[in-house]
Amino acid sequence: STGYPFASIEPKWQAYWKENDTFKTPERRTTNEDGTVTKSKNKKKYVLDMFPYPSGAGLHVGHPEGYTASDVMSRYWRMTSHDVLHPIGWDSFGLPAEQFAIQTGTHPEVETKKNIANFKRQLQMLGFSYDWEKEVATTDVEYVKWTQWIFLQLYKMGLASQSEVSVNWCPALGTVLSNEEVINGLSERGDHPVTRLPLRQWVLKITEYADRLEQGLEGLDWPSGTMTAQEQWIGKSVGTEIDFNVDGVDDKKVTVFTTRADTLFGVTYVTLAPEHPLVSSVTTSDQKEEVDAYVTATSSRSDLDRTSSKEKTGVFTGGYAIHPLTNEKVPIWIGDYVLGSYGTGAVMAVPAHDERDYEFASKFGLEVKWVVEPTKKDGELSTEEAFTKAGVNVNSGEFDGMKTQKAKKAITAKLAEISSGGPKITYKLRDWVFSRQRYWGEPIPIYFPIDFPEGVEDSDVDPKVDGCEHTIRFDKPIPVDEADLPLTLPEMEDFSPGDDPAGCLARAKDWRYFQKDGKWFSRETNTMPQWAGSCWYYFRFLDPKNGESAFSPELDEDWMPVDLYVGGAEHAVLHLLYARFWHQVLYDLGYTKHPEPFQKLVHQGMILGSDGEKVRNCKSGYHLEYHSSCINNCLVDSSYQMSKSRGNVVNPDDIVEVHGADALRLYEMFMGPLEAVKPWQTSQVSGVVRFQNKLFNVVKEAAKNDASVEMDEETTKILHKTMKKVTEDIENMSFNTAISAMMVLTNHLTSLKDQVPREAAEKLTLMVSPFAPHLGEECWSLLGHDDTLAYHPWVEHDEALCVDNTVKMGVQVNGKTRGEIEIPKDADQEGAMGEAMKVQSVSNQLDGKDVKKIIYVPGRILNIVAK
C-alpha cells in the first residue's frame, strides 16, 4: 500500500473551498420580490471557538484541539441539514504586543497584523471550515467603535462610573492588575513586585447583575466545574444584617452581616475591618496610637493574604457596642481577617461557633459563650474548638430549644420587629475595575472639562504647554457623542507606561487636550482591559460589516444564542462572567432577544508536553484544581505543561509538514476524551497516519469496483454498527471512540482486498470527512463525485442490522478456559457443544476423557466437566 499524498491533496481542497465559498454562512431569511420574508426551515447551529490572542509564537497544539472539535461538529451539522454559523477572529488587544512594541519600537498594530496573518495561515492550513467573511479583530477601528458604543450604553445606564479604588499597582509593568493577576505579591506575568495604591478608576457595576448572573446559569449546558466556579465567584450568601449601637456615640451604629443569626446570643465582641469608616469614631484616645499603627501596617496586605493567614492579628479600639437583644456591652476590635470589601466590613464575633473568631478570641483572651449544642444524635459538645455545625439553641432566652434554621428565622424576625436588622443577601462578586493605564486597548470614550485659575480665559491658555496651570474636572465626565465614535488611539513613538499612573496616553497631549466651542477639555487617558473586546465578539460575528449598528436584530433572532462554545477552562470564569454581564445589559436594552449568550459550553483538556513545567506547579493552581480527577492518572503525572522555556512546545507547522493537517486533526481527536488532560506523544501520530493510508487505499480499491461487488453479511453488519456508533459518538462529542470505530471498519474493509464494496467505502468517506476533511473530499472525488461532500446527507444506519444475534463466549474444560465460540444468542446446549467440539484446543482437552457434566448458561458459561 502506498502512502497518502497529503502534501499535494490538502492545499488543493483548501483552494477548492475558497474558490467555491463552500463555507459561506447561509442566509436564514430571504426577502422575496413581493416584500415577504421566507425563513429557513433548517435548524441552526452557531458554533463558536474562543477566539485566539494572536501571539508572536503562532498556534500551539492546544489551539487545534478545540478548533478541530468545533470543526467536526460544524461539518457534521452541515451534513445533517443544519444552517451553520462558524466564525473566527482575533482577540488582538493586549499586553504582549505592547511589551514587544516597548522593547523594539514597532507599533503594536504592526506586530498584531503580522501575528494575525500568521495565525490565519495556520488555521487555513488546518482546513477549518470557518466563514472567513465573518472575520473580525477586536483592534479593528470599526470593532472598537462598537465596543466604545457598548461602554456608552453602560455609562448611560449608570453601570459605568469612576471611583477611587485601592488597586494592585505594578510599577514595572506600569499597570493596575486584577487580584487574579497577582500571586504572592508578584505579577503573574513577569514576577514583578506589586503594591496597593488608591487610583481613580472606571468601574463597571457588575454587582448589580449578581443575582441575574447566578440565576441565568440555570438551564445552561455547561461543565459542572465551570458552573460551580461561576457560582463561587458570584458567591451568593443568604443571611441577616444586624445593627449594634455604639456605646456613648449616639448617631453611629455598627452594622454586621452574618449567616448565623441564630448565634446572636453568643456574640462576645465585634470586629471591624481596619478600613471600616467607623474605626476612628469608636477608637478611644488611649487606643488611638495602637489602632493607627495597626491600620497602617495592614493597609498593604491583599485580601487573599489577610484571609489565608492562620495567625490572627488585631487591636482593641477601646470602644463598646451594645448587643441589640441583651443590651450587654461588647468590646469593639479591629482585625484584618475581616475584609472591608465584603458584607458590611464588620462582623459580630461568635468564637464558640466560628473558627476564625475562636482563633482570634483564644489569642487575645476574649470570652467564649456556647449558644448552640449538637442534637442528641450528633453527640456531645466539645469546648476544645468552635462548634460550627447546626444544632439546637441554648443560653438564648426565648429562642432556646429551637433548631438552627428555625432560630435564624426567629431571631432575624425579632430584629426586624425592633428595627435592628433584617434579612440580607450578600455577594462575593466585586465591581469590575475597568481601567487600564496602557496604550494598546480601546480608549474609554469620555472627556472632562478643564478649570483654569480665576480670570483666565480659555482662549488665552493652552493646557498642552508645560506650566499652564489647570485642573481637570474628573468629577464632571462627559460621554463622547455616539456620532463621533470611534475614538481612535493617537500615534505615539514611546508606548512605555512611564511612572505616571494616568498611563502613557497622558503624554499624548495633542490627542488628550482639545477645544470645543472655545472651551478646553481633556480626554480620559485610561484604556479598556483586554476583556472588553471578548465580551461581545460573538455578536459582531453575526454582522461584522454593519456600519449602522453593532449587529442587526434580525441576525440576533436568526442565530443567537451560541449553540456550542468551545474553549479552554483557563479563562473561563472571568471571561464568561464579563461576557454574560454585557449580554444581560444588552438584553435589558432590547438589543437581543436571548437572555444568555452561550447555551452549551465545552472545555478541551490541556495538552501536555513530555518535558517541562510540571502541571502540579501550574502557577494559577487552576489545572490542579480543575482536573483534580485526572491528576492521579499516571500519564498526566509524568507529563508537563508545554512552555517555551522548557523547549517542549510542539509546533503544528512541523506536524503538518511531516504528516499533514488531517493527521494532526485525527491525532488530536484520537488522543483521548476531549475534556481530558492529555500528554502529547509525537510517536503516536504514526497510528493515525496508518489509518489514513489504509482508508485511502480501501477507497481506491472500491473505486475500481462496480456494483457487482456486493456487501456481504458481515460487512453490512460492521458498517451499520459503525454508522450508528460514529453518529452517536459525534452527537456526544466523543471523538476518540468514533475514530476507533472507523479504524475497525477500515481494517475489515482492508481484509476484503480488492473486493471492497463501493457502498461501504462511500459511507466510510462521509463519516471520516468531519475529522479529516481533505481526505474525505479526495476519497469522495475518487468515488466519482464531482461536488463537495460538505453538504451531502450524513449516513443513516438500519437499527435492525446493528443488533447482535450471535454471542461470543469462552469454553471451559474443568473450570479452565480453553477456547472461544461464536453461536446464536438462543443456541441450546447441544448447539453450543457442537460448536465447542469444533474448537481444536477444546477437543484436545477432552481427548480420552468422559464428559461427566455440562454447565451451560446461554450467552454466559459453557463449562465441560470431564474425567
- Residues contributing to the site for ligand ANZ (CB under 6 A): 237, 257-260, 263, 273, 338-339, 342-343, 345, 347-348, 350, 353-354, 426
CB of 341 to ligand ANZ, least distance (A): 7
Helix 661-670 and helix 773-782, axial crossing angle in degrees, nearest 10: 120
Q: Measured from the CB atom, is 68 or 426 closer to ligand ANZ?
A: 426
CB of 347 to ligand ANZ, least distance (A): 4
CB of 196 to ligand ANZ, least distance (A): 17
CB within 8 Å of 278: residues ≥ 6 apart: 246, 252, 254, 272, 346
Cβ atoms of 446 and 526 within 8 Å: the answer is no
Q: Measured from the CB atom, is 52 or 266 closer to ligand ANZ?
A: 266
Q: Measured from the CB atom, is 407 or 535 closer to ligand ANZ?
A: 407
Helix 758-768 and helix 735-751, axial crossing angle in degrees, nearest 10: 160
Q: Which three cell numbers stand for residue 823?
A: 453461536
Q: Measured from the CB atom, is 14 or 271 closer to ligand ANZ?
A: 271
Q: Measured from the CB atom, is 237 or 546 closer to ligand ANZ?
A: 237
Residue type, 35: G
Q: Which three cell numbers stand for residue 481?
A: 457623542
CB of 277 to ligand ANZ, least distance (A): 13
Phi/psi of residue 59, nearest 5 degrees: -65, 150
Phi/psi of residue 569, nearest 5 degrees: -80, -15
Query: Residue 108's closest CA among 62, 60, 53, 150?
Result: 53
Burial class (CB in 10 A: 0-12, 13-18, 19+), 706: exposed
- Interatomic CA distance for residues 232 and 272, integer angstroms: 24
- Interatomic CA distance for residues 575 and 584, integer angstroms: 14
Q: Measured from the CB atom, is 273 or 743 closer to ligand ANZ?
A: 273
Helix 652-659 and helix 108-125, axial crossing angle in degrees, nearest 10: 30
- Positive or negative, the CA dihedral 429, 432, 433, 436 is positive
In order of 40, 44, 49, 563, 762, the CA distances from 81 in angstroms are 11, 9, 21, 15, 19
CB of 81 to ligand ANZ, least distance (A): 49
In DSSP notation, 565-626 reads: EE--STTHHHHHHHHHHHHHHHHHTTS-S-S-SBSBEE-PPPEEESSSEEGGG-TTSHHHHH
- Positive or negative, the CA dihedral 540, 543, 545, 547 is negative
- Interatomic CA distance for residues 409 and 405, integer angstroms: 7
CB of 291 to ligand ANZ, least distance (A): 18
CB of 348 to ligand ANZ, least distance (A): 5
Q: Measured from the CB atom, is 245 or 426 closer to ligand ANZ?
A: 426
CB of 233 to ligand ANZ, least distance (A): 13
Helix 6-19 and helix 661-670, axial crossing angle in degrees, nearest 10: 90
Residue ranges of the alpha helices (H) in 266-364?
279-282, 288-298, 303-308, 355-364
Q: Measured from the CB atom, is 220 or 429 closer to ligand ANZ?
A: 429
CB of 288 to ligand ANZ, least distance (A): 23
CB of 801 to ligand ANZ, least distance (A): 57
* Phi-psi region at 848: left, alpha or beta (left = phi > 0; alpha = psi -120 to 50): left
CB of 368 to ligand ANZ, least distance (A): 11
Angle at CA 37, nearest 5°, toward 32 and 43? 120
Q: Measured from the CB atom, is 344 or 522 closer to ligand ANZ?
A: 344
CB of 252 to ligand ANZ, least distance (A): 18
Q: Measured from the CB atom, is 186 or 339 closer to ligand ANZ?
A: 339
CB of 237 to ligand ANZ, least distance (A): 3
Q: Measured from the CB atom, is 354 or 543 closer to ligand ANZ?
A: 354
User: How many Cα atoms occupy the beta-carbon half-sphere of 258 within 13 Å?
Assistant: 30
Query: Residue 494's closest CA among 503, 484, 481?
Result: 503
- Interatomic CA distance for residues 94 and 431, integer angstroms: 21
Residue linked to cell 449616639: 250
CB of 246 to ligand ANZ, least distance (A): 18
CB of 212 to ligand ANZ, least distance (A): 19
- Interatomic CA distance for residues 745 and 751, integer angstroms: 10
Q: Measured from the CB atom, is 339 or 802 closer to ligand ANZ?
A: 339
Q: Measured from the CB atom, is 347 or 585 closer to ligand ANZ?
A: 347
89 in helix, strand or coil? strand
Q: Which residues pair with 241 in a beta bridge?
A: 257, 422
The greatest distance separating any two alpha carbons of the chain, rounded to the nearest whole angstrom, comes to 125
CB within 8 Å of 419: residues ≥ 6 apart: none
- Interatomic CA distance for residues 333 and 319, integer angstroms: 8
**For residue 377, what is the DSSP state?**
G
CB of 169 to ligand ANZ, least distance (A): 23
Q: Measured from the CB atom, is 424 or 720 closer to ligand ANZ?
A: 424
CB of 328 to ligand ANZ, least distance (A): 16
Q: Residue 198: is the preceding peptide bond cis (ω within 30°)? A: no
CB of 385 to ligand ANZ, least distance (A): 12
Q: Measured from the CB atom, is 340 or 597 closer to ligand ANZ?
A: 340
Q: Measured from the CB atom, is 270 or 745 closer to ligand ANZ?
A: 270
Q: Measured from the CB atom, is 421 or 773 closer to ligand ANZ?
A: 421
Cβ atoms of 540 and 558 within 8 Å: the answer is no
- Interatomic CA distance for residues 61 and 610, integer angstroms: 13
* Phi-psi region at 518: left, alpha or beta (left = phi > 0; alpha = psi -120 to 50): left
The terminus-to-terminus CA distance of the chain in angstroms comes to 52
Q: Which three cell numbers stand for residue 149?
A: 458604543
Q: Measured from the CB atom, is 10 or 336 closer to ligand ANZ?
A: 336
